[in-house]
Amino acid sequence: MKLSGGFDARRLRTRGHSPWRSRLGLMVMLVLNIAGALLALVGAAALLGRPLVETPEDAAAALLLVGLFMLAIGIMLWRRGRRRRRPDGLALSPHLMKRRD
């Protein structure tokens, strides 16, 4: 069978999205996680008696809570971003699929 001149096999494949947006999002989440962990460590150190900076106890507790909040938000966003990168094959629950990383 002869192929016509206007046939393009690349049109048949679904075009995937650009990975730059997801990579940029993962980098932002990584920075959020690192900043949250560092703030939580500084707040915990100030509360335990070895302050890295001279802060009152209220400020140290606020640093600890803000750091833990940032860390939790970063982890949730990171997990959502990792779950979204899975190929759209079978409709299985994410915890039933084998890890591919």
> Per-residue pLDDT tens for 37-77?
999 998 888 888 866 667 688 888 899 999 999 999 999 98
pLDDT at 91: 55
Contact criterion met (CB below 8 Å) for 85 and 101: no
**What CA–CA distance (Å, rounded) separates 65 from 75?**
15
Q: How confident is the model at residue 20 (pLDDT cuts 50, 70, 90)?
A: confident
Q: Which of 90, 78, 81, 85 is nearest to 100 (CA)?
A: 85
pLDDT at 19: 76
**What CA–CA distance (Å, rounded) separates 70 from 35?**
8
Residue 81 contacts by C-beta under 8 Å, 6 or more apart in sequence? 22, 25, 26, 29
